[in-house]
Amino acid sequence: KMAEKQEEPSNAQNGEPDNAEEGEGKKKKLKREDLPPFEIVTGERLPAIFFKFQFRNVEYSSGRNKTFLCYVLEIQGKESSTSRGYLEDEHAAAHAEMAFFTNLLPRCEPHLRYNVTWYVSSSPCVACADSISDTLGKNKNLRLSIMVGRLFMWEEPEMRAALKKMKSAGCQLRIMKPQDFEYVWQNFVEQEEGEEAKGFVPWEDIQENFQYYEEKLAEIL
Q: What is the largest CA-CA distance in the chain?
A: 75
Specify whether 156 is catalytic.
Answer: no
Q: 40-190+199-220, what's its fold?
A: Cytidine Deaminase; domain 2 (3.40.140)
Which is higher by pLDDT, 47 or 202? 202
Q: Tell me the per-residue pLDDT of 133-163, one tens digit each, with 9 for 90 and over.
A: 999 999 999 999 999 999 989 999 999 999 9
The sheet that has 142-150: what strands, in order across it?
A: 38-42, 81-89, 68-76, 113-122, 142-150, 172-175
Residue 221 has pLDDT above 80, yes or no: yes
Smallest CA-to-CA distance from 121 within 99, 97, 100 is with 97
Residue 22 has pLDDT above 70, yes or no: no
**Domain extent listing, the chain:** 40-190+199-220
Q: Tell me the per-residue pLDDT of 38-94, one tens digit each, with 9 for 90 and over.
A: 555 555 777 777 777 666 766 655 555 567 889 999 999 988 999 988 887 754 467
Residue 138 CB neighbours (<10 A): 10
Give me the catalytic one of 16, 97, 155, 193: 97
> Contact, 189 vs 44, CB < 8 A?
no
Main-chain dihedrals φ then ψ at residue 147, nearest 5 degrees: -105, 125
pLDDT band at 195 (very low <50, low <70, confident <90, very high): low
Strands 142-150 and 172-175: parallel
Question: Which residue stretches of 70-156 are H helix?
Answer: 96-99, 126-138
